[in-house]
Structure formats: structure tokens, C-alpha cells
Structure 1
Amino acid sequence: MNKALSANKTTLAIGLITALFFLWGFALNLNPILIPHLKKACRLSDVQSAFIDSASYIAYFLLALPAGRFMYKYGYKGGILLGLLLFAAGAVLFYPAAATRSYLFFLCALFIIASGLTFLETAANSYITVLGDPAKGAYRLNLAQSFNGLAAFMAPLIGGRYILSGKALTASQEAGMSAGQLDDYLKAEASSVQLPFLIIALVVLSVAVLVWRTYLPEIKEEETGNANGSVLNEKNLLLGVGAQFFYVGAQVCISSFFIRFSQRVAGIEEVQAAYLLSAALLMFMVGRFAGTLLMRFMAPPRLLVIYSILVMLLLAVAISTTGITAVYALMAVEFFMSIMFPTIFALSVKDLGAKTKKGSSLVIMAIVGGAILPVVMGRVSDASNIQQAYIVPAICFIAVLYFGIKNIAVTKVELSASH
């Protein structure tokens, strides 16, 4: 009876933590909506609007280690609760930011939201890998990350419907408006984020209350090795941090430049290219569920190796061909990228024991690759063209492939030792 009760509590905990993956996935994937929206409402240049993504990725870099230290002292539940409260606070701040139409205020609100997401990701990604059978840690993480993929698909659709107005002034229209009329128009544009983000804040606070009132087992990781030793001595963890840095950077590169790529190689107009991007993100979500199923029959490191090779081959097709074939190849990349983040994460922190929380922080810090590598790709594009610039993410997947191969070798050694 006690075992059944314990199993039920663990199942409830896994379900609740899985819901967190959807929440932060939804928040992060509103950025592609906020970039054009705030560019218009706050009258920004392209460079200024790019800081919307920067505010998120910098938060991950700066706060991942403090998040790990916080969890080491107060546990996974404490980290999750603080993350949810920061998330809700940042969402509430969108209301005064919109009222004042201050871009700096918006960036501060985004940074606070991303700070909360950093705590959530640092806690939830590692917590779900140790919440249950350790051998199925990668499987559980991929299943939870599938709901993150669902959020990635839904956020642009919902955000586009309730935030974007579809009204853009031409230069002649703006010139024909009085200062008061223009100010009213800009205020109306800015205010469209107020209600959606207040709703987000209420939902997040409701989840925080639910987490607070729900029993979440605090996992005490086994003291393997020197628990007080530096995580920098863990070679596989460091390989995972590198792989995650290059993977996240490649993922952002591939998605961010997709529309421009489609225009260049196939002459697809902007709106149609956006629909194709939504379809690609749907493939990403489907890939998460399919990959989770495949992990019942194939070891995660082996699947990571196979998918890395397929991604590089598809990017080679996208770079070397033209027309719709190149676009379809790039869309297919999203499917095979789907399992990479959670698999790299789970393999990186596997067997860290009491160092798991600290190791998780380093892997989350690697998300800063999404702020750095797109700039590199942009420079390559300026020097050549956007299609040739896709060699940047193609090279990034070499690091992912190498990490997968090393972990296949580790798995073989473990199996030999067990026999």
C-alpha cells in the first residue's frame, strides 16, 4: 500500500513538472511575436529589437549557477517556486511597460521572466531525470520536453492572434498623422500585450500555488565520488556543456533565418514562409513524441548519433540545392533536432550524484549559445549569402555527434562492467 501511494505521488510529481515544460516553452516562443510587435510599438531599429532575444539568453547565462546553488540549499521544490514567482512578476511588469511604452522597461520585464525560466529549467530538467528509475531518465526528460515542443507550436499561433494587430503604417500614412494620432496608434499597439501577459501571470501564479500545496519528493542524490569536488572534473559533463552550447546556437540559427532562407532559395513570400515555419515547428513537436517512443527500443546516445548525422546531411542538401527541395530539407531538420536538447541534458548529468544540481546549472548556462552563434551566422551571411551561412549550424552539429559517440562508448563500458 505504501509502495502504491509512493508511486502515485511520484506520478503526480512527474505530471506537475511536465506542465512546467509547457509553461516556459510558451514564454520563450512568444519572442518571435514580441520582436516585430515591439519594433513597431516602440519604434525600434532591427538591432534594438534583437535585444529581446538577448535579454532571455543573458539571463540564462548569468543566473544558471546561482539557481543551482539555490537548489542545492533549498531543494528542487524551492527552485521551482522561486522560478514561478519570478516568471509571474516579469509578466505583470508588461502592464506598466506597455503603459509607458518604455522599451527598457520591456527588456527588464523580459529579463525577470527569463530569470524565472532559468530557475525552472535548471530545476525541472534535472529533477525529472532523477524522479523515478534512473535508467529511464532520458526517456522521461524527452517525454516532458515533448510538451515544450507543443508550446513552441502553440505560442506563435496564440500570440499572433491576440498580440499582433496586423496594422502597419506606411511612411506616407505616418506622415499624414498628427503627433497626437500617431501617439494614440502607438499606445494602442503597445497595450495589446497587457491582457495576454496578465493572463499568463495568473496562470503561472496558479501553478505556483499548486506546486506549493503538492508534495514533491526531494531527491537526495547518492554521494558518488567526492560530492564536494568541482563539477569541472566531470569530463562527460563538460562535453555535454559544449554540445549543448553548439546545439542551442544551431537551433536558434536554423529557426531565426528560416524565412529569409525560404525567400532566397525558393522565392517564397514572407507570409507563406511563416506558415512553413509553423509547420516545421509542428514537426519539431511530433519529433519529440516520436523520439521518446524510439528510446524504448534504442539507447539515447545511439539515437543522438543517428539524428546528428541526418541533420548534417539535410543541411548539406539545404545548402547545395535550390527551390522547394532546399526548404523541405530545412523543415525536416526540425524533426531530427527535437530530441537533442533533452538527450544531451540527461546524458550530461547522468551519474553525477550529489553534483547533479551544480552540473545542471552548467548545462543550462550553455543556452547562451543561442545569443552568440546567430551573430556569427549573420556575419557569414553578410560576407556571402544566407544559404551559404547555414554551414555555421551544420558545423555545430559535429560537437553534438562527438558527444553522442563518446556516450555510446561509455554505455558499452558500463554494460561490460555489469556483466
Structure 2
Amino acid sequence: MKLRTLPVYMIFLTMGLIDSVGPMVSLAKESFKISTTIASLLPMLGYMMYGLLSIPAGLLQDKKGKKFIMNLGLSIALIGLFIPIISGMSGNMIIDPNSLAQFYKILAAILMLGAGGAILQVSGNPIMRDFSEPGRYSKNLSFAQSFITVGSSLGFLLPVVMLRAFGLDWSILFPVFAGIVLAGIIWLNMLRIREGNDKDKHATVTSCFRLLKNGYILIMVIGIFIYCGIEIAMSAYVPILLKEKYNVSVEKIGLLIGWSLFYLPILSGRFFGAWIMSRIAPARLLLFTVLFSFVGFMLIFSNSFALTLFGIFVIGLGFANIFPLLFSLTIEYMPDNANELSGLMVSAITGGAFIPPIMGVIADSISIQIAFLAPATCVLYLLFVAVVNNVNVNKTRRIIV
């Protein structure tokens, strides 16, 4: 890791803060005594912003540059985090049992955090290409994605640590996140960025959507949509599964177990992703990881506590490099259209807004275990994407253009 890239990795860490909305589902459900479906509004609102803002942010980035866009995203996220802080939710939240006003303020904060995260993703993923030597983009992006997982992990770890050490509740996440975002703003503006731009013609909304006429691009964008929906669904519902099926307390230990079995394998896999990709071709690695994940989902449907925990671990390990592989394979396919592609693919992160609510409805109407059929089915599409990238890749791309 080069010293000059540290601020960029800090930006990736701040991107991961929006992923902390996953464990907030179980925390909000327990704190405000609301249904799983209502609690799932948290990721829904946060990740809807990816669909609304990513393409406009990509177009603005094409004109203003990546550093401007990163500053914009960080500033919006910081404003959002101050909403619960100024409302008294900063570690000692007093719940009003007769009102959901506090929950609505948290929804507003997540909406702003999602908006900031969407804008950051548009600039952060392609900027790694400006810092990468030829042929190392997939490896460097995988390593950078591990910092997103560090940010995501805070949503699991901080509530447990702060409750045990200081008696503070999970709303301590908001001031801690605000401090991280503020540090990111300061560090980013100390960084000089030489942005690569090989195009004289600026991107437009039409040029973005025209890329979807390319069959390969369309398949990969849908793959990002599906993957992000599954990951957020896992982070949201694993603690609830442990609570409702195996009576594991969410705030005391359920979040810690969920993190250690899901996000810790993702974190480890992404840290070692660059080393793995130097030995296995990205397309082949994508196939291996998707198959590995599918096996994990099958284990979740056992009625064994041990097999369920092992299944969650296997899914996490399999999921470690799927996102950076999908993203980098697509960017490398059309590097001259990096801004448009980044906008399209980051808009597809809005998948995190749709699969969790579907699981919430199934969990409330049938059972939490049956709800996991939704992400398990979605993995089959990722398997299709992996096969497309492996069956004579260049030939396949030409055929489906």
C-alpha cells in the first residue's frame, strides 16, 4: 500500500458506513418494537438513493471530476448524520413508546447517508483505476473494497462494544460515523489527484443508458443489483434469524456472531483478494466464489444451529470478492466509458432496497428461515453471470453485444 493512496482507502471506509444500515434493521426492530417489514424501510430508503443519484452523479463527475464528487458525497452524508445527533440520539437514546418520531428521524438520516454513499461509490470505484498500474485494477479494487467492509463492520461491532464497555446504546453509531466522515473530508482535501480521462466528449444520460444495449454490460449491471440486494439482506436478517430461530440476543451477542460469521470472512477475503487474483483469473474466481456461496445457503436451511452458523460463514467467504470482480470486469471491458459505467453499476446497488423488504414480508407472513429462499434464489442469477464470464469470455462478449 502506497502512502499517497491512504486517503482513497479512507474514502472506501466511509462508503461502508451505509452498509451498517443492515444490522440497524434488527436493532430498530428490537428498540422500537416494530415489524420486520417496517424495520426493512431503513435499507430500502438508504439504497433507493443509489438508483436515483448514481447516474446524475456519474454525469456530474464527468464534468467536475472525481474529487469534487467525493467532497459532495461526504458533505451530504455528514449533514444526514447530524439529524439524529441534534435530536438526542447519540448513545443515550430514550425511546418514546407512544411515538415513532425518533425512528422517522433515523430514516431521514439513513436517506442522507445513502445519498452520500451513492455519490461516493460513483467516484471511489473508478478512481482506483487512476492509482493502479496496468493489469492491477481488479486486485487493487478488491483490496480497497476490504475497507468498505471495515466501515460495514462498525454497525455490528460498535453497539456490542459500547453497550458492554460504557453502557451506551446503538445510537452511538451516529456521532462515531460523523467523526469518520469529517476526518475523510479533511484528509481527502490534502490529497492531490491526477485523474485519467481519455475522452473529449462528456457523458450524457443517453450515453449511459445506451450502454445497456450491450448485452454483456446489461448482464453485469443486473449482477451488481442482485449481489448488493443479497449482501444487505444477509447483514439485516442474520441477527434476526439467530434471534427468532435460536433465541440469540441481538444487541448482546447476535450482532457479534453475525459479523464474525459473515463480514469477517468478507473482510479477510478482500484483504487477500489481490493475492488470490494474481494466481486465479478473475472470471474463474467469480465462478468459484458464487458456487461456494450457493453451498452456504443450502446449509442455512438445515435445522442445525452449528450447520446454520457454518453456512453463514461459507456465504461470507464466497461473497468476499464478487462485487469487485463484477465491477472491475465491467470497467476493464469498456475503460473509456468508466464514468458512465460507474454510474450505471452504482445505481444497481439499489438492489439493497428491494430484496430486504421482500424478505421482511416473507418473514412476517411465514418464517425468517423461509425468507432466506429469496437471496438463495438470487444466487442462481449470479451463477449465470459467472458462467457467461467463463465460457470463452471474449467470444461470449462479442456474441451478446
Q: Which residue is equivalent to 2:10?
A: 19
How far is 1:239 from its partner?
1.0
2:236, 2:175 → 1: CA distance? 27
Q: Is the 8 A contact 2:37 2:364 kept in 1?
A: no
Determine whether 1:87 maps to 2:67: no
Q: Is the 8 A contact 2:54 2:347 kept in 1?
A: yes
Determine whether 1:276 maps to 2:253: no
| Equivalent of residue 254 in structure 1, options 234, 239, 243 | 234
Q: Which residue is equivalent to 2:48?
A: 58
How far is 1:243 from its partner?
0.7
* Correspondence list, 1:332-371, <5 A: 332-371=314-353
Say what the alpha-carbon RMSD is for the aligned residues. Answer: 3.4
Q: Is the 8 A contact 1:266 1:322 kept in 2?
A: no
Change beyond 3 A, Cα 1:166–1:374: farther
How far is 1:269 from its partner?
5.7
How far is 1:67 from its partner?
0.9
Q: Is the 8 A contact 1:143 1:292 kept in 2?
A: yes
What is the identity, as a one-letter code, of the residue corresponding to 2:46? S
Q: Is the 8 A contact 2:156 2:258 kept in 1?
A: no
How far is 1:384 from its partner?
4.6
Change beyond 3 A, Cα 1:163–1:79: farther
* Correspondence list, 1:60-139, <5 A: 60-98=50-88, 102-139=102-139
1:83, 1:166 → 2: CA distance? 32
How far is 1:320 from its partner?
4.3
Change beyond 3 A, Cα 1:21–1:391: same
Q: Is the 8 A contact 1:141 1:346 kept in 2?
A: yes
Q: Which residue is equivalent to 1:402?
A: 384
2:166, 2:37 → 1: CA distance? 22
1:164, 1:107 → 2: CA distance? 26
Q: Is the 8 A contact 1:27 1:155 kept in 2?
A: no
Determine whether 1:237 maps to 2:217: yes
How far is 1:221 from its partner?
3.5
2:106, 2:239 → 1: CA distance? 26
Q: Which residue is equivalent to 2:188?
A: 211
How far is 1:213 from its partner?
3.2
1:382, 1:31 → 2: CA distance? 17
2:388, 2:125 → 1: CA distance? 22
Of 298-307 and 382-391, the range deviating more from structure 2:
382-391
What is the identity, as a one-letter code, of the residue corresponding to 1:248? C
Of 125-134 and 69-78, the range deviating more from structure 2:
125-134
Change beyond 3 A, Cα 1:408–1:353: same
What's the CA shift string for 1:127-157, capped at 9, x where partnerless? 2134322422111110001122223333422
How far is 1:358 from its partner?
1.4
Of 147-156 and 343-352, the range deviating more from structure 2:
147-156
Segments of 5+ residues of structure 2 without an aligned counterpart are 90-95, 397-401
How far is 1:251 from its partner?
1.6
What's the CA shift string for 1:326-375, capped at 9, x where partnerless? 32122221111111111111112223233211111111111221221123
Q: Is the 8 A contact 1:315 1:330 kept in 2?
A: yes
Q: Which residue is equivalent to 1:390?
A: 372
How far is 1:240 from its partner?
1.1
Q: Is the 8 A contact 1:223 1:353 kept in 2?
A: no
Change beyond 3 A, Cα 1:164–1:94: farther
Q: Secondary structure at the residue paired with 1:93?
A: helix
What's the CA shift string for 1:68-105, capped at 9, x where partnerless? 11101101111111111112222223333337964433
How far is 1:38 from its partner?
8.6
How far is 1:386 from its partner?
3.0
2:388, 2:182 → 1: CA distance? 42
Q: Is the 8 A contact 2:35 2:364 kept in 1?
A: no
What's the CA shift string for 1:267-291, capped at 9, x where partnerless? 6565554332121121221122233
How far is 1:58 from its partner?
1.4
Report how many aligned residue pairs link the two structures.
382
1:223, 1:338 → 2: CA distance? 36
What is the identity, as a one-letter code, of the residue corresponding to 2:51? F
Segments of 5+ residues of structure 1 without an aligned counterpart are 1-9, 168-187, 415-419
Q: Percent identity?
A: 21
1:165, 1:60 → 2: CA distance? 35
Give 1 or 2 for the bigger CA radius of gyration: 1
2:142, 2:223 → 1: CA distance? 17
What is the identity, as a one-letter code, of the residue corresponding to 1:211? L
1:33, 1:44 → 2: CA distance? 13
What is the identity, as a one-letter code, of the residue corresponding to 2:7? L
How far is 1:120 from its partner?
0.7
Q: Which residue is equivalent to 1:177?
A: none
| Equivalent of residue 290 in structure 1, options 254, 272, 278 | 272
How far is 1:13 from its partner?
4.8
Q: Is the 8 A contact 1:244 1:363 kept in 2?
A: yes
What is the identity, as a one-letter code, of the residue corresponding to 1:61? G
1:231, 1:207 → 2: CA distance? 33
| Equivalent of residue 291 in structure 2, options 284, 309, 318 | 309
Q: Secondary structure at the residue paired with 2:278?
A: coil
